[in-house]
Amino acid sequence: MAGFLKNVMRNRVMLLMVLPGAAWFFFFSYMPLVGTIAAFKEYRFSRDGFWQSLINSENVGWRNFEFLFSTDAAYIITRNTLLYNIAFILIGLVFAVAMAITLSEIVNKRLAKVYQTGMFLPYFLSWVIVGYFVFSFLSMDKGLLNSILSQFGVSSIQWYNEPQYWPYILILVSLWKMVGYNSVVYLAAIMGIDRSLYEAAMIDGASKWQQIRNITIPLLKPIMIIMTLLAVGKIFYADFGLFYSVPRDSGTLYSVTNVIDTYVYRGLKTTGEIGMSTAAGLYQSVVGFVLVMISNYVVRRIDKDSALF
Amino acid sequence: MNKNRKSRNFMQLSPGWNAFSNATAALFSLLCVFPFLFVVLISFTDEKTLATNGYRLIPEKWSVGAYSYVFETGDMLLKSYGVTILITVVGTLLSLFMISLYSYAISRKSFKYRRFFSLFAVFTMLFNGGMIPTYIIVTQVLGLKDSLWALIWPLAMNAFYIMILRTFYMTSVPDAIVESGKIDGAGEFKIFYRLVLPLSLPGLATIGLFSTLGYWNDWFNALLYIDDPNKVPLQSMLMRIENSMSFIQQNSANSSISLEVMQSLPQDTARMAMVVLATLPIIFAYPFFQRYFVSGLTIGSVKE
């Protein structure tokens, strides 16, 4: 004990430095872990604060989870979250790598930089802004898409009421926002490839296409695998803004736009099923934890430096 | 120089493929910028022609009416701008303060508890209580409902930034400098702000820009915690307008209410003008952002 106090005194300045941040983590990351008890309660907000609310709320054991998994909801939100993320990861990977290779091969480097600047822009905009952008295309009566379709004699489509189009729309919008950002990562990796490899290949008479297939892509493989695995670790978490703001929270689209995060949000703010939504959130955290541990373990095996921890 | 150019020619793409690559990249780049330009065009369209023609690439009649409307009735916009600027400035400074201290401490080998506090931060990336427990703590324990602090605190720390900055300190602030400060008799705090901070400015700039962008673009915390219309930041105000619009469209049968609400909302072109005005600061700051983001990405990738 005395030794501990001595250590604390010796490290007091450093401890003072971590104090504000540690306090933040305590309140905003560790206290909510206590709050997950709400998943096992019929939680009611009490005026007298958190502890009183906990005491006043009835214990229900695993009932919230039983309810959650007895409805379609759990299946639909899990399916949507997983399938969309898988699509984003795979299609995004192909496009980002293809775009990075294209940019790296362009002869005029100035122009390549200009293109890259344009591609990077969507990453900096909020989903609300993107939602407005999408609306300018998909608005039923004023949107660009319907007026183009009408040129071809196709009658107006109520985009925000037709679920069948939305998987494609959401994948397109997600690609639009993320490909530029991800291609920067791959472009940096390509720039790091030893030029003499290409020179040697040229001397052996390899075509550009063969060089890309046999030099660039194999050398990008480690970073592709790592980026993908890190994304797989987050596969149970959806991008809330994309699924909430872009479809304008349209109720008719829920079957294809409801993901775990939006479900939890609506449970809190609209339907008021606090217990069940907390249960869904806890389910997400637990499965997400397992996935991130597995993917991090695999990343560590491949390349220790790229692991999250 | 001459040799360099020769070797580049030697590896260059054939003119045909080069043209194809240029066209592909240019097309995608244009697609990325196009929606913003389109919204700008819409905002400069005359409201009446827009009502009959819809959103058009080339408006039949141009007008700055939307902007004069927004500036005349600009109370709401101005207030939201104020809120956003306030939380962005205070939030960025606060998070730089906390993050730089925390990551400096855990980057120092002489700090006995560095492993514990590293883990204390990293664990928050792996497991979290989720949206509702966080909501419960923020509203019921911290009592931040409808407070501007609810827009600032939740984004103030981030374990990921801490790891980036810690790596930055370890790789670009040599131990020898800290030791020399100690020999000169400077205390730990003095060493930090006299010797370490000036050296780590590029790293701090990167984190600061990440943080600024995070605050500027945030609407989720406002969605959760803010009901008071005087405390709504920019992005969230746009979100609210969007929500009331779709509410009206979905409940157009209830025409008596919706007509009244409809009239209180900004018109089509004015809404797009607000979108443009909310995005402009980002467009202007974009060159800085881009440079530091690229360097930030590379900092993040050279981990210890």
Tens digits of per-residue pLDDT, B7-44?
A: 445 567 788 888 999 999 999 999 999 999 999 999 99
From chain B, the residues in CB contact with A92 under 8 A are: none
Place of tokens 């005029």: A108
Task: Inform me whether the pLDDT recorded for A107 exceeds 70.
Answer: yes
Percent of chain B with pLDDT over 90: 43
Predicted local confidence at residue A81, as pLDDT? 96
Mark yes or no for CB contact A248/B246 under 8 Å.
yes
Predicted local confidence at residue A122, as pLDDT? 94
Task: Inform me whether the pLDDT recorded for B262 exceeds 70.
Answer: no
Round to whole Å and give the CA distance between B59 and B40: 11
Mark yes or no for CB contact B282/A124 under 8 Å.
yes
pLDDT tens digits along A26-48: 999 999 999 898 889 888 888 77
Give the number of C-alpha atoms closer than 13 A to the C-alpha of residue A269, restricted to the C-beta side. Answer: 17
Number of CB atoms found within 10 A of residue A281's CB: 29
Q: Which of A18-32, A162-176, B228-242 has the lowest mean pLDDT?
A: B228-242
The confidence band for B6, taking pLDDT boundaries of 50, 70 and 90, is very low
From chain B, the residues in CB contact with A127 under 8 A are: 219
Looking only at the bridges linking them, the beta strands covering A41-42 and A58-59 are antiparallel
Place of tokens 């797989």: A232
Over residues A82-105, the mean pLDDT reads 95
From chain A, the residues in CB contact with B223 under 8 A are: 269
| A141 interface with B at CB cutoff 8 Å | yes
Predicted local confidence at residue A48, as pLDDT? 79
Task: Inform me whether the pLDDT recorded for B256 exceeds 70.
Answer: no
**Inter-residue contact B107 to B171 (CB < 8 Å):** no
Mark yes or no for CB contact B157/A309 under 8 Å.
no
The confidence band for A51, taking pLDDT boundaries of 50, 70 and 90, is confident
Over residues B161-187, the mean pLDDT reads 86
Percent of chain A with pLDDT over 70: 100
From chain B, the residues in CB contact with A10 under 8 A are: 112
- B244 vs B33 pLDDT, higher one: B33
From chain B, the residues in CB contact with A265 under 8 A are: 131
Residues of A numbered 205-234 whose beta carbons fall under 8 angstroms of chain B's beta carbons: which are they? 208
Locate the chain A residue with the closest alpha carbon to B190: A13
| A81 interface with B at CB cutoff 8 Å | no
Mark yes or no for CB contact B275/A119 under 8 Å.
no
Nearest to A13 among B157, B189, B290 (CB): B189
Mean of per-residue pLDDT scores for chain B: 85
The Cα-based distances of B192 to B46, B174, B186 in angstroms read: 57, 13, 10
CB-based burial label for B136 (10 Å; 0-12, 13-18, 19+)? buried
**Inter-residue contact A275 to A60 (CB < 8 Å):** yes
- B8 vs B208 pLDDT, higher one: B208
Mark yes or no for CB contact B98/A102 under 8 Å.
no
Mark yes or no for CB contact B275/A278 under 8 Å.
no
Task: Inform me whether the pLDDT recorded for B187 exceeds 50.
Answer: yes
Mark yes or no for CB contact A105/B121 under 8 Å.
no
Over residues B222-251, the mean pLDDT reads 85
| A237 interface with B at CB cutoff 8 Å | no
Give domain A75-306's CATH architecture: Orthogonal Bundle (1.10)
Domain boundaries defined on chain A: 75-306
**Inter-residue contact B68 to B225 (CB < 8 Å):** no
Predicted local confidence at residue B301, as pLDDT? 47
Over residues B241-249, the mean pLDDT reads 75
Place of tokens 């590029």: B202
Mean of per-residue pLDDT scores for chain A: 90
Over residues A89-105, the mean pLDDT reads 95
**Alpha-carbon dihedral sign for residues A242, A245, A249, A252:** negative
Could you tell me the two tokens for A82?
């997983």
pLDDT tens digits along A180-218: 989 988 998 898 888 899 889 888 888 888 899 999 999
The confidence band for B260, taking pLDDT boundaries of 50, 70 and 90, is low
The confidence band for B104, taking pLDDT boundaries of 50, 70 and 90, is very high
pLDDT tens digits along A56-78: 888 888 988 998 899 888 999 99
The Cα-based distances of B281 to A127, B33, B75, B172 in angstroms read: 16, 16, 19, 32
Predicted local confidence at residue A128, as pLDDT? 95
Could you tell me the two tokens for A190?
């390509």
Task: Inform me whether the pLDDT recorded for B289 exceeds 80.
Answer: no
Nearest to A102 among B21, B217, B304 (CB): B21
**Inter-residue contact A295 to A230 (CB < 8 Å):** yes
| A156 interface with B at CB cutoff 8 Å | no
Round to whole Å and give the CA distance between B48 and B50: 5
Output the pTM of the full model.
0.90
- A299 vs A286 pLDDT, higher one: A286
DSSP A152: T
Which amino acid would we find at residue B38?
Answer: F
Task: Inform me whether the pLDDT recorded for A304 exceeds 80.
Answer: no
Q: Which of A68-82, A221-235, B253-267 has the lowest mean pLDDT?
A: B253-267
